[in-house]
A and B are shown apart, each in its own frame.
Chain A
Amino acid sequence: MSASDADQNLLTVPLNDQHVAAGGRMVPFSGYSLPVQYPTGIMAEHKWTREHAGLFDVSHMGPCFLTLNSSSGDPDTDYTDIAAIIEPLVCGDILNLKPGQIRYTLFLNENGGVLDDLMVGRSPLHPGALYIVVNAGIKEADFARLRAAAGDRASLQRADNNVLLALQGPQAANVLSALVPGITDLSFMTYGTFPWGDEDLIISRCGYTGEDGFEILCSPQHAPPLWETLLADERVKPIGLGARDSLRLEAGLPLYGHDLDETVSPIEADLGFAVSKRRRDAADFPGAARILAERDGKLSRKRVALVVEGAPAREGAEILDADGKAIGVVTSGGFAPTLGKAIALGFVPPEHAAIGNKLQVSVRGRLQPAEAVAAPFVPHNYFRKPA
């Protein structure tokens, strides 16, 4: 067995002591020291989240606020102005978000490649403000991009020195509503501000596990009691980054830096839903020419979801067709605890990505059967309020 030790200058999150006290195994991740697992291990944590509620510390991520420098006095005008700052960077319809609504969208480069995926929320309280959460590894570039787009029209307030918790799983709503009664009003992909003690928490009903759940932005000083209070509920256990990754993989959700990068377009990545209709019709987003052509069928590769027989096919494993011809590569893969088998995401020419297609993967030089399946691997369990 080979082992490697990382000695880097790692940042610690405000709840570092709590993770260590809970037996968290701390590892370097995106420049931070974070728990990859707690004593029960990834498999048990994964299953606990699918069946009960898992509490994740995702404080390494990049929450921030973009706020107009001056109000016109008219709420609609203010929102139009703030949406106009971010829309040229992304392919989503931000202008038509309702107050409190969140949208998953993508920063794109001029070639239509994905610079990052992010969440953008329209403030329910301040018409000229957006709540944005970007990925950890590239948040400095994302913040710089937002500042450049804002110029002197708006200001970016980083909130990544706060604590961002994710409470995920079928019991998450019951657990959290006992502390914060109003959260049952939230539907999937909405957020609001909720008092807890003398603090206002920003709580969004979203996450990246495929389960119903919430992300909670909290100040560093209030985070320890919130963490302890949530964990005092027997339905809640702390969950590390290891299970976070296996949960998102089962949910068929792409991970930036693995399944998404600057060369991959939203259409190739099977994220066509993130290219909003209004933006498509206007063709007014970066890389529109490529993305619209790909949407019309002119694409050379497509994200495929694979169920793999035998050993897990990890990132970098070659994908071959049934005849043994190399046709693509795995971008993330591992073991699916819910399914008890190996699964993977990767890219292949579109004709090979059809559901039911028999493919192969090369693991340590050995060919193993794989089948293209519909993503997600495990059905999503998001909470949508009846209309």
Chain B
Amino acid sequence: MTTKFTPDHEYIRVEGDIGTVGITNYAQEQLGDIVFVELPAVGKVLKKGDEAAVVESVKAASEIYAPVTGEVVEVNSLLTNSLGTLNTAAEGEGWMFKIKLTNSAEVETLLDADGYADLTL
């Protein structure tokens, strides 16, 4: 299992050919209280960089981009009833969707934890 990050503050936790995607803890802190989330439809095929989801704080909407290319295979139904999880456990239970990778080489182009940490200093 490996966890990678985008400069746009998404993370992807890859196990086999399935990646679990969400926003980083840094991102949720920046957004503040999240009041709405729009998740992708299961079955949707996303290219790396496509808009995949939207999270809204009191103040603003922020797009979440697909960190890799693939098909959405699951969304986190917990978030529907418990949006606060995005604020309290962004990188854990507050994951947003799972994507089946079509090009695992893309993962290597993303930031590792140290690279991402440098970005958010």
Contacts and interface: CB of A to CB of B under 8 A. Distances in A.
Partners in one complex: yes
Interface of A: 1-3, 36-37, 41-44, 46, 242-243, 245-246, 310-312, 314, 334-335, 337, 342, 364
Contacts of B112: none
B56 A1 contact: no
Nearest to A341: B35
Given A1-B63, A364-B38, A311 B30 contact: no
Contact of A245 (B8, B30, B55, B59): B59
Given A2-B62, A310-B36, A311-B61, 10 more contacts: A1-B8, A1-B27, A1-B62, A3-B8, A42-B33, A246-B58, A311-B56, A314-B61, A334-B58, A364-B38
B60 interface: yes
Contact of A242 (B30, B55, B58): B58
A98 to B, nearest CB: 39
A46 B58 contact: yes
B8 A43 contact: no
B32 A42 contact: yes
Contacts of B60: 314
A42 B23 contact: no
A311 B54 contact: yes
B45 to A, nearest CB: 18
Contacts of A36: 59
A241 to B, nearest CB: 9
A335 B60 CA distance: 9
Contacts of B35: 43, 312, 335, 342
B9 A3 contact: yes
Interface of B: 8-10, 23, 27, 30-33, 35-36, 38, 54-65
23 contacts: A1-B8, A1-B10, A1-B30, A1-B62, A2-B62, A3-B8, A36-B59, A42-B33, A42-B57, A243-B58, A245-B59, A246-B58, A311-B54, A311-B61, A312-B61, A314-B60, A314-B61, A334-B59, A335-B36, A335-B56, A335-B58, A364-B38, A364-B54
Nearest to A314: B61
A3 B63 CA distance: 10
A42 B58 contact: yes
Contacts of B8: 1-3
Nearest to A310: B36
Nearest to B57: A42
Nearest to B84: A43
